[in-house]
Chains A and B, each alone.
Chain A
Amino acid sequence: MIAGSVAASLVLASPPARGWLESSMSAQMLLQLPLLAAIGVCSASAIPAAVRGALARWDRWGISGLLLASMTSLVWMLPRALDAAVDDVGVAAAKYATVPLLIGLPLALSWGRAGFVLRGVFLAETIATCFRLGWLYRVSPERLCSNYLLDDQQRLGDWLMVIGAALFLALMGKLLLGRFDFRTDAQAQEGRH
């Protein structure tokens, strides 16, 4: 699994893939960053149980992990950071390291520990961020990234709002029609024993 994650990272970091994924602002934000985060999510299964147990003691209800993922995401949402990751190899390396390890991995490890309320807050904030950023990119008359064109930025804004709306509808559907287990995964597992 670790080998697979490393291989996937290397493929994404290869000049042709990187060139294509960074050729537009939409590809960088909607493909490259999510793919990197997904690599982190997939790597979680490779963490040994002992390490997981040790981490869990510092991550009650998944708070630390979700906080870490949120703070890291905030940095990679800055137009200046997106620009710098294209122009500066050091910043690019930081992006390739931190998005899987500090966003994807903690999300995967902490989501199961998070309870109903924390998950709800996290999802609501994700939806709100999609709309905030999407609206900003849609209406800004200025190019926020020096490396990308205005129509690209506006298209990304539209996509972010579509994604925000889809997440909102999915969440609403789940709330209205879905079945809920209000216990955390750990509690559910204990209950099953």
Chain B
Amino acid sequence: MDTLRTLLLSLLIVIAGGATLGAATDGLRVFTTESARRLAVREHAVRVPDLALQAANGDQIALQDLRGNWLLVDFIYTRCQTYCSVLGSDFARLQDRLAAPLASGRLQLLSISFDPEHDGPAQLAAYQRRFGDRGSGWLAARPLDAEGVAAATRAFGIRVLDDGLGGYVHNASIALVDPQGRLVRIFDAGQPEVVAAALQAVLAQ
């Protein structure tokens, strides 16, 4: 009798444990916070709040003003020697691969700095020059204050950690915002050809 009871309880434990594990991994599909965020965005588009920014030319812009077009957004800080270099050259290459929609204004590239204290308009412009900005369709901008940074990183799911060496560690990804201002996809950094192909498919629709 004890054996039967143990068997029954064990079965219940396996079912409850399996259900918990399934829920914690979205059906064994995601094991990390980053992959969970990407899956969540793909399944349910997330509305991006309006953000006030200052561009590399000194102008104030609002994210709201860029609605109506497709937007590719990345997060950088200009002193970064690692991920941001990848992101910078990704955007320069996307300028080549997606020259037509960028020229027509159907698509806009936007780099947002999460270190506005260091990244003034001059630093942002230098960052773009360093990676060979082709001069069309790429905006670099900074939030106006620390609250703006918090709102922007929260909206895009960017986590910024102090690297202990005076710099930052952050997730390097490129976010796609649709013309309605909704975050619809997140791409890996370092694969501009994948981003370009996906954008061509989206723009052809």
Contact = CB atoms under 8 A, between A and B. Distances in A.
A9 B3 CA distance: 34
Interface string A53-76: 000111111011001100110110
B6 A144 contact: no
B9 A145 contact: no
A80 B6 contact: no
Contacts of B33: 79-80, 83-84, 145-147
A146 B159 contact: yes
Contact of A60 (B6, B31, B163): B6
Contacts of B9: 58-59, 64
A144 B161 contact: no
A68 B13 contact: yes
Contacts, number: 78
Contact of A80 (B2, B36, B159, B171): B36
A190 to B, nearest CB: 15
Interface in B142-189: 159, 161, 163-164, 169, 171
Contacts of B90: none
Contacts of B36: 80
A135 to B, nearest CB: 15
Nearest to B159: A146
B6 A72 contact: no
B144 to A, nearest CB: 25
Nearest to B160: A146
Interface residues of A, number: 28
A1 interface: no
A74 to B, nearest CB: 6
B13 A71 contact: yes
A149 B169 CA distance: 7
Contact of B25 (A59, A68, A80): A80
Interface stretch (B14-22, B56-64, B104-112): B14-22
Size class of the contact patch on chain B? 20 to 34
Contact of B20 (A75, A143, A144): A75
Contact of B32 (A67, A75, A146): A146
Contacts of B164: 149
A78 B24 contact: yes
Main secondary structure of the interface of A (DSSP, over half): helix
A74 B21 CA distance: 8
A78 B159 CA distance: 18
A63 B6 contact: yes
Given A80-B31, A145-B33, A64 B159 contact: no
Contacts of A75: 17, 20-21, 24
A30 interface: no
A75 B34 CA distance: 17
A121 to B, nearest CB: 14
A75 B33 CA distance: 14
Given A75-B20, A143-B169, 20 more contacts: A57-B1, A57-B2, A58-B9, A59-B9, A60-B3, A63-B10, A64-B9, A71-B14, A71-B21, A74-B21, A78-B21, A78-B24, A78-B31, A79-B33, A80-B31, A83-B32, A84-B33, A145-B32, A147-B159, A150-B169
A-B pairs, 7 with minimum CB distance = A71-B17, A60-B6, A83-B33, A146-B159, A146-B33, A64-B9, A60-B2
22 contacts: A56-B2, A57-B5, A58-B2, A58-B6, A59-B6, A60-B3, A64-B6, A64-B13, A67-B10, A67-B13, A71-B16, A71-B18, A71-B20, A80-B24, A80-B30, A80-B36, A81-B24, A83-B32, A146-B33, A146-B171, A147-B161, A149-B169
